[in-house]
Amino acid sequence: MKKLWRVVFVTVLLLVALTLLTAEKVAYIWTLRAIAAPDVPMPVGYAALAVLLVSPYILAFLQGLWNVSFLTRCSDTRLPPAHNVILGLLCSVLEGACVTWFTTMAASVLPVYIVLPAVSSVLSFSAISPVLSSPQGHRESDKLTDFIKVPPETSCSRLRQYLAMAALLGPPIAAAVLYLSGTLPWLHCTVFALTTLLLSVMWSPGVQFRTVSVDGEVSLNCRRLGVLYLLFKVVSVCFFIGLDVVVYGASDQTALEVAGDFFQHFVEVRRKDLLVPILLSILSGIFSHGFAYLSSAFCQPVFGILIPSLLSTIVSIVLCVGFFGPYVYQVQELTHFGEVLPLVITTCVVAVTWGLAYVLRTLDALRKPRYLFIPYEDVLIEYGWCAGFSDQRRLLSFCAEGATRDGFLQQPMRAKKSRVYVCTTMYREADYEMERLLMSFQRLSSGESLENVYLEAHIFMDNGINGERLGDFAEQLLGLLVSRFGLNPTDTRCLLAPYGMQLTCFLPGGMPLFVHLKDPAKVKPKKRWSQCMYINYIMNFRKVLWSQDEDFNAGRLRQGGDSKIFFISKQSSSDKLAGQFSCDPSRASSSRKIGGVGYPTFSEFSQGFQQNVDGDDQGFVSVESGSSSTPSPSRSVDGSETDFVRETVDPKASLCNLIDENGDCGAGLDNPAMTRDDSSPYDIVEIKNTGDEMAAKATMPRSDTCYEFKFDPEEEIDDEHTYILATDADMDFEPEAVAELLRMCNNDRRLGAACGRTHPIGKHVSSIVWHQIFEYAKDFWMIKSAQNVIGSVMCCPGCFSLYRASAIRQVMDKYATPTRTPFTVYVKDTGEDRWMATLMMINGWRLRYSAFADNTTYCPDTFQEFFKQRRRWILSDIANLILVVQNMPRLLRNNECFSFVYLVYLFNMFMNNVITPGTAIVMITAGMELVFEVPYIYTTPPMAALVYAYAFMCTRASTHVQGMVTSALTVFLGSIFVSVAVWGSYKIVDGMVSELSKGHFQFQQHYIILMLTVSLLYAALSHPRESYQIAYGMAYLFIFPAMHLLLPIYSIANIIDQSWGTRDSQEAKIPKLKCIPNIRKLMKMRKKSKTRLNVIEDNNVDIQEMVNAMSRPMMEGNAQERDENAFWENLRERLLGNDVNRGLEREELANRLEKLRNRSLLGVMGINAVWLALLSYFYVGTDSPLSRLNLYGVISGALYGFTLVIQVIGMTICRVNYMLRKFAWYLYGDRYPMWVCAKNKKP
């Protein structure tokens, strides 16, 4: 099936590329013939010619501005040598002159069957020497001063040079024939020969690369220089067209009069006979250029570039001669341009030139790229194309191996294995929310999508314990683990830690689960400090265990002592059936490949506990009778013998080879876990048991087993391949979602974090839930997709995002700083995910979003809870935007994502957030006048007074009263706005239909309002799996006034309120558990040990009593536990303790927040009062209803139009790019590796 799809794809690619390239060439000839028509004035013709020739350069210049940051600070500030820069500028000016003069003095006066083959002669010069044929031709030394070095000659190379020179002489010979026969004057013949020769020299790959590189590298400064060259080309084409206008203008006019007349006639280019071919040329050029890059991205340049270029010339000539000439632009190509014999001879000469040029260039173009989706800047030397020479220019710029790399790896790297630490912050989640998370963990542990990824889960619960007393929600969590997921408490390690308590166990499939219960008396509460805990724990302790394990590095795990276990195996059917949480390594060892778990097994835990009990009871730790107190690797639970388990290499295991431009390894799309750089298979290690399956079930060892493990100590897992998956405690996700984010990060080393597509759900169905479903969909569809393309995602939500360890390491110290000003409260404590994202962007990292990493979360289903949540979100969003504006110089210097387009986009969003209340008032009151004819002057002042009264009330009334008033106003304003929107849309559409039926349709500015709706429909259609969510748009309209008018004021007025807002009234559900015999033994032993617990005589056991029976101090454990205890003590004394690293005191913070509230509210209300007055002045100043309606549309377009256009373009590019990458990997992933983008050097 895949082979069939490959055939279909290359066939479609060939046909589409051929069609587009043929359309571009036909449109080029068509435009020239239309300009030469007798009824087209000369100034109009030159204006049309200027549009035709300048448009590709302008589009290329805009592409450069889009992709190249001019404000980022470069680590490599070098530029090409001065003589090379001068050469580039000279070539840019000459290119504009040559393209202009060839078009005006040769292509316009020669038949199509001479023009199109003749332009192919520009391919010839680069074939004279390998030094000129490709950017790699001059890289035999470190310096470009050896550019002229001539390689050794062979008979084949000499023949190639002779044929190239013969092809290069084709246009001069053809020009001589035309001049001697009197077909063309000498000036036209000279231009015909000279322009093709100069373009052939200037466009040779060696010359191109020399002008934009330093010592074989294209740095950011060099790319900026390339954009400058494009600007010179635009100016050059305009100058030489203007020069032609002046030279060939009316003799009785001065140069200024001719130029003025020329610019006045630009508007006449809109005439149909000129506009149609020009638009066809521009549009076909854009899509042809795009499909050319697509063919190289799919490693199929032969079918997407070479063959279409070859065949399009023939097809275009046939179409122009047989159809377009006689029937479209009324020019007979065979007889219109002079005598037949000279034209036939010239045609034969250029035909030979055309054939030789393609044969010679084919030797280079037949080389396929070795990687899928090599970036545009690497596969094509320069941006854009050139009218009339588009395919030739593309062939000369194409570099199969990449223009900025050597094309081979000099020092291959060892394989790298990815590790993902899933870290969840928990507070007061309901039992059904916790259950969703645990089910996600279970799927993650047992799934196959991440089979070769090391996984580890951590839950950090605020207020989980007080002293040794569990909190209600901690008991609820542990009760779920036991009652719903089959956790065996005897297989759980429970340690009293410096921050509270730590419980560890295995999940089905073998993934370790750590539950960290925070004691508010020992460490700081709140989510950010929980994140600081797990960041430091993962980065500075869990991760370090790998490199410090000497036994592990020695290649063999030994039994006993302080060694850490390392399980690596396939999941057996017996463990799938078992489906039980356990800390028992024997159950985990047959389930999942796990590396370096790094904490003691149950046998070690038991040995540690033995030290705390009397000698009579030490035999207790043999959980089942017959097992010895000292575990043996060859003994089973009941003492029977088992076969020794050995690890062998699976030679069939293979992974995709991904290489970046620095020669580093990436990760394949089929396996996000591994990165390697050669074609040899990675050593996938699996356990093979002897004996039948039933025997293996019965004799699975209870204690550590000594496995023979093949391991290379040089295979180091570093920060680049270590990730932290941050989730909320109510998340539901699949392993494929994690694999998608991991794949994205491994394929792009520039990413510091990646987030997924979050879908909100509600416990109860309500309009507020529907609103959030649509709001999430709209924001993810358009905002995050657009930010993916134009720059960087501004925020990776903490509910489900994957963070790279190397990015976290750069910001973790800054992230853990205390709040010392009221403003930073909402930057750091309330908007911690935005704070993390901003810090990463300041350090040069990019953030990305994947629409395929789906996950769901519970959202507020009542107005009161929704308002409280959005209070935090709006304040943190505003604070983060202010922080971004404050740090804009640093962001521009350090991060290439911040291009000019992205900067304007952010500024527009910031301004919209500030003036949104005033804009919302005008939209409501003006809409009431336009739709229901209620005078604007009668509705706007009362509405403004109502808003100001509401703001005053929010500063004085209680939270409950504020919520009730806000809910009432939401219903009132929402009803008005829905009526205005629905009835107004009906009237606009009715007016459009009426105009169309009368036959005099004319665009009105208020039609822009409908474009907002059309863009949302387009976004929904672009996401077919989620398109049904557009139906919830009515609920979004209903809440729109509250979101843009009431909630900003409500949020600022409640700055002082530091409560979390959601789940504050949540009650825990604590189940009663049946007493487990081993727990009763533990309780009896604790009784003998003079512990405070009493023996339970009934059949039920309290969770608190069960935990107390199992718990022991971490500081009294084995060496690793003591090390961990020291780590937590140090971290608490340095960072997490309540008496260290402190910010503002509560009272001082409240006083300063009140002052900030008053200043902020006064400022926002004042700015919006001025804005409302300004809008009202312009609105009232218009007379007719149509003019006011148009002004209404202009206001909407001015505020949201630019942002909307950027979002639609960005979303389209993002969706197309995602789908093409997935399709490319499906078709050719087994043949070619995916290109990995390397991390930019630190500025």
CB atoms under 10 Å from CB of 1167, counted, come to 14
DSSP code of 450? T
Tell me if residue 143 falls in helix, strand or coil.
coil
Q: What residues have CB less than 8 Å from 1022, skipping those under 6 apart?
A: 781, 1211, 1212, 1215
pLDDT score recorded for residue 1042: 93
Cα-atom radius of gyration of the chain, to the nearest Å? 36
Q: Please give the Cα distance from 705 to 632 (Å, whole number).
A: 8
Assess whether pLDDT exceeds 70 at residue 679: no
CA 1224 and chain centroid, separation: 18
Assess whether pLDDT exceeds 70 at residue 545: no
Strands (E), 968-1034: none
Q: Answer for the pair 332, 111: CB distance below 8 angstroms, yes or no.
A: no
Tell me if residue 848 falls in helix, strand or coil.
strand
pLDDT score recorded for residue 625: 30
Question: Quick one: CA dihedral 1125, 1130, 1136, 1138, positive or negative?
Answer: positive
pLDDT band at 365 (very low <50, low <70, confident <90, very high): low
Q: Which of 345, 395, 315 is nearest to 126 (CA)?
A: 395
Mean pLDDT across the stretch 1237-1241?
Answer: 72
| Percentages of the chain per state (helix, strand, coil), in multiples of 5 | 60, 10, 30
Highest mean pLDDT out of 412-416, 463-467, 507-511, 724-728: 724-728
pLDDT digits (tens, 9 = 90+) for 226-253: 899 999 999 999 999 988 887 876 555 6
pLDDT band at 1035 (very low <50, low <70, confident <90, very high): very high
pLDDT score recorded for residue 556: 26
Higher per-residue confidence, 1201 vs 1006: 1201
Residue with tokens 């206008």: 245
Long-range contacts of 137-140 (CB under 8 A, 24+ apart): 137/205, 137/206, 138/206, 138/209, 138/210, 138/216, 139/216, 139/406
Higher per-residue confidence, 729 vs 829: 729
**What tokens does 936 get?**
């604007």
Q: What residues have CB less than 8 Å from 920, skipping those under 6 apart?
A: 1040, 1041, 1044, 1045
Assess whether pLDDT exceeds 80 at residue 415: no
pLDDT band at 254 (very low <50, low <70, confident <90, very high): low
Would you list the DSSP string of 572-590?
Answer: PHHHHHH---BS-HHHHTT
Q: Answer for the pair 380, 394: CB distance below 8 angstroms, yes or no.
A: yes
Mean pLDDT across the stretch 569-583?
Answer: 37
**What tokens does 398 get?**
């194409």
The torsion angles phi and psi of 304, rounded to 5 degrees, stand at -105, -15
pLDDT score recorded for residue 464: 93
Higher per-residue confidence, 571 vs 1175: 1175
pLDDT score recorded for residue 683: 34
Q: What residues have CB less than 8 Å from 894, skipping those under 6 apart?
A: 72, 73, 842, 843, 844, 1243
pLDDT digits (tens, 9 = 90+) for 879-918: 988 898 888 888 888 888 887 788 888 888 888 888 889 9
CB atoms under 10 Å from CB of 1187, counted, come to 14
Q: Which of 308, 366, 368, 316 is nearest to 14 (CA)?
A: 308
CA 912 and chain centroid, separation: 24
Q: Please give the Cα distance from 921 to 929 (Å, whole number).
A: 12
Lowest mean pLDDT among 142-151, 436-445, 640-649: 640-649
Q: Please give the Cα distance from 154 to 607 (Å, whole number).
A: 78
Higher per-residue confidence, 1115 vs 1189: 1115
Higher per-residue confidence, 206 vs 1124: 1124
* Mean model confidence pLDDT for the chain: 78
Highest mean pLDDT out of 206-220, 237-251, 766-780: 766-780
Burial bucket for residue 384 (CB in 10 Å: 0-12, 13-18, 19+): buried
Q: What residues have CB less than 8 Å from 963, skipping those under 6 apart?
A: 863, 864, 867
Assess whether pLDDT exceeds 90 at residue 114: yes
Lowest mean pLDDT among 173-177, 563-567, 787-791, 859-863: 563-567
Q: Please give the Cα distance from 387 to 28 (Å, whole number).
A: 7
Q: Please give the Cα distance from 6 to 10 (Å, whole number).
A: 6
pLDDT score recorded for residue 572: 33
Mean pLDDT across the stretch 4-10?
Answer: 93
Q: Please give the Cα distance from 919 to 925 (Å, whole number).
A: 10
pLDDT score recorded for residue 24: 96
Assess whether pLDDT exceeds 80 at residue 642: no
Q: In the sheet that 751-761 helps form, which strands lie side by side, from edge to edge?
A: 732-733, 846-858, 751-761, 800-804, 722-728, 419-426, 454-461, 512-518, 500-506, 493-497, 1112-1113
pLDDT digits (tens, 9 = 90+) for 1051-1082: 999 998 877 666 666 777 776 665 555 555 55
In a 13 Å sphere around the CA of 178, the CA atoms on its Cβ side amount to: 31
pLDDT band at 346 (very low <50, low <70, confident <90, very high): very high
Q: Please give the Cα distance from 1081 to 1089 (Å, whole number).
A: 12
Q: Answer for the pair 734, 447: CB distance below 8 angstroms, yes or no.
A: yes
pLDDT score recorded for residue 1224: 92
pLDDT digits (tens, 9 = 90+) for 929-978: 878 888 889 999 999 999 999 999 999 999 889 989 999 999 999 999 99
Q: Answer for the pair 171, 193: CB distance below 8 angstroms, yes or no.
A: yes
**What tokens does 406 get?**
């050597």
Assess whether pLDDT exceeds 60 at residue 458: yes
Assess whether pLDDT exceeds 60 at residue 659: no
DSSP code of 1042? I
In a 13 Å sphere around the CA of 969, the CA atoms on its Cβ side amount to: 26
pLDDT score recorded for residue 894: 87
pLDDT band at 1102 (very low <50, low <70, confident <90, very high): confident
Mean pLDDT across the stretch 526-533?
Answer: 93
pLDDT score recorded for residue 784: 93
Angle separating helix axes 186-202 and 82-102, nearest 10 degrees: 140
Assess whether pLDDT exceeds 50 at residue 678: no
Q: Please give the Cα distance from 294 to 484 (Å, whole number).
A: 51
pLDDT digits (tens, 9 = 90+) for 138-149: 444 334 333 334
Higher per-residue confidence, 263 vs 931: 931
**What tokens does 793 get?**
């995602």
Mean pLDDT across the stretch 16-37?
Answer: 94
Q: Please give the Cα distance from 808 to 722 (Å, whole number).
A: 10
Mean pLDDT across the stretch 588-604?
Answer: 37
- Rounded percentage of the chain residues whose pLDDT exceeds 90: 41
pLDDT digits (tens, 9 = 90+) for 1003-1012: 666 677 778 8
Q: Answer for the pair 1058, 868: CB distance below 8 angstroms, yes or no.
A: no
pLDDT score recorded for residue 1062: 66
Q: Answer for the pair 580, 488: CB distance below 8 angstroms, yes or no.
A: yes
Q: Which of 1128, 1113, 1117 is nearest to 561 (CA)?
A: 1117
Would you list the DSSP string of 662-723?
Answer: TS-BEE-SS-TTEEESSSSPP-EEEEE--S-HHHHHHT--SS----B----TT----GGGEE
Assess whether pLDDT exceeds 80 at residue 743: yes
Phi-psi region of 417 (alpha: psi -120 to 50; beta: other; left: phi over 0): beta
Lowest mean pLDDT among 367-376, 914-923, 996-1005, 1011-1020: 996-1005
pLDDT score recorded for residue 1010: 78
CB atoms under 10 Å from CB of 983, counted, come to 14
Q: Please give the Cα distance from 600 to 1114 (Å, whole number).
A: 12
Question: Quick one: CA dihedral 1009, 1010, 1015, 1020, positive or negative?
Answer: positive
- What is the amino acid identity at position 301? P
Phi-psi region of 215 (alpha: psi -120 to 50; beta: other; left: phi over 0): left
Lowest mean pLDDT among 8-17, 246-255, 492-501, 1052-1061: 246-255
Q: Please give the Cα distance from 349 to 347 (Å, whole number).
A: 5
Q: Answer for the pair 792, 846: CB distance below 8 angstroms, yes or no.
A: yes
Q: Please give the Cα distance from 803 to 725 (Å, whole number).
A: 6
pLDDT score recorded for residue 608: 38
